[in-house]
Amino acid sequence: MEKIWANSGDSHYLESDTFWSDCLPPALAERMPRSVRDEDGRHETIHVDGRSFQRTIPSVDRKKDEDGLTMLERNQTRRPGITDMEQRLADLDQEGVWGEIAYPSLGIWLALLTDPDLVREAVRGCNDWIASEVMGRSPRLVFPAQVSMLRVEDAIEETQRAAGLGYRAIFLPNKPQDGVPDLNDESWKPLWAAAEEAGMVLTFHIGFEPADLVAHRGPGGAVMNWIEASWGGQRAAFKLVSCGALDQHPGLKVLISEGGASWVPFLGDRMDEAYRQLGTFVRPKLSLTPKELLYRQVYASFQHDETAVAALTAMGYRNVVWGSDYPHVEGTYGHTQETLHGLFDDQPDDVRRRITIESFLELFPDVGTPPVGAEELVDATGR
Ligand code: MN
C-alpha cells in the first residue's frame, strides 16, 4: 500500500509535570492552575491563583478503559511523543504525517486566570520555554504562541515578541473570558493588524472552553457534548468575517482545528443570506461577500469526516486541511494510513494533494514538503 504523506492541522503536545516551575519564577508558578483529584473519584479541586473550587469530573472522564485509564489519562499517557519530541518525530514518520501544528495542553487553563499581569507573564514564560526547549527540534513542528486576551496591548506585544522568537501562529480562545470584549469588538482591531503585519496565523481549536464542555447529561450525553464543542470554532470564524477583520486584513489567515470542514460552506450560505436579505441592518459593509471571505481566509481541519472532502470537490471550499489530532484517542494515531486511503483512494491526485499537503503549506510554508520515498525521508530528517 502506497504511503500517503499528509500535514496535520491539528496535533497536541503535553507540557511536563514541572512545566510551570520550569518556565516561571516560583512566585508566579505557584499561582498557576493545578488540579487535584478528590478521593471519591467523582470530583477534582482546581487550585488557581489563591482560589479553589470543586468541579464534578465529567462521566466520560471517570470511565476507565480496559487498561484502567480514563480518556483524559489515555490522552496524556498514550504515546511518549506527546512530551518527547524525538519519539514524536518517529511516530510522525511511522504514521505518514510530515508537518503538524502542535497545540499546548495546559493552555486550556489560562481561561481560569483573571489577573492580566499574571497571564501576561505566564504566556511569556510558556512561549520562551517552548522556543528554547522544543521549537528547534524540527522545522516540521509548528507551535502556536499563546497570548493573553485579557488586554489588547498585552496580546499585541506578545504577538510581536513571539514572531521574533520564530513563532508563525498565535493560539486564541474561541471566545475571550466573560467581561472581556468579544472577538468582533473594535478594541481588538489593532491585534488583527499586528498579527497580519507579523505574518502570524490566527489559530483556534474547538473545545477549549472548559466551562461549556459539559452542557448535556443523561442519554446521549457523550455524543451531544462532543457536538457542542464544535460550535466555538464556528463562532470565532463567523465573528472575524462579519466584523470586517478579515476583509480589512486580507493577509490574515485563520485555522480552526478539529471541528471538521463541511460547516464552512454551510456557514457561508447562511452568512450570505443574512448579509443580502438584511442589508439595511448590516454593518460593516464588506468588500466581498461573507462566504468569499470565509473561503479565502479561513482554513478548517478534520480527521475522519466523510463529508470534508466534498466541501472541496462539491462545494468549492479549497481550504480544507486534514489533521491527525495526534495523540488523542479521537484522532487517527495507529490508523492514519487506513484513514487517508479511505478518504482519498477514490479522489484525483490534485484533491488529495490540496487537502493533505498544500492547504497546510499556505499557512506554514516553513515545514517544507514531505518526501515521496523512504530514502528522501532519511535525508530530510537526518536520521
Ligand atoms: Mn485536536
Cα 174 to middle of ligand 1, angstroms? 14
CA-to-CA distance for 329 and 76, rounded, in angstroms?
10
Q: pLDDT (tens digit, 0 to 9) for every residue of the chain, 383 residues total?
A: 899 999 999 999 888 778 889 889 999 999 988 878 888 877 888 888 888 877 777 666 677 778 777 766 766 665 667 778 889 999 999 999 999 999 988 777 787 899 999 999 999 999 999 999 889 999 999 999 999 999 999 999 999 999 999 999 999 999 999 899 999 999 999 999 999 999 999 999 998 775 555 678 889 988 888 888 899 999 999 999 999 999 999 999 999 999 999 999 999 999 999 999 998 899 999 999 999 999 999 999 999 999 999 999 999 999 999 999 998 878 899 999 999 999 999 999 999 999 999 999 999 999 998 876 544 444 444 43
Q: What is the pLDDT of residue 377?
A: 44
Cα 12 to middle of ligand 1, angstroms? 6
Closest CA to 173 of 125, 214, 196, 205: 205
Cα 279 to middle of ligand 1, angstroms? 37
Residue labelled with grid coordinates 486576551 = 149
pTM above 0.85, yes or no: yes
Pairing of strands 201-205, 169-171: parallel
Cα 227 to middle of ligand 1, angstroms? 14
Cα 238 to middle of ligand 1, angstroms? 20
Q: What is the pLDDT of residue 376?
A: 45
Q: What is the pLDDT of residue 214?
A: 64
Q: What is the pLDDT of residue 381?
A: 44
Closest CA to 256 of 150, 349, 183: 183
Q: What is the pLDDT of residue 72?
A: 66
Cα 257 to middle of ligand 1, angstroms? 6
Cα 102 to middle of ligand 1, angstroms? 9
Q: What is the pLDDT of residue 36?
A: 84
Cα 331 to middle of ligand 1, angstroms? 8
Q: What is the pLDDT of residue 71?
A: 67
Cα 209 to middle of ligand 1, angstroms? 13
Cα 248 to middle of ligand 1, angstroms? 29
Cα 27 to middle of ligand 1, angstroms? 32
Cα 4 to middle of ligand 1, angstroms? 21
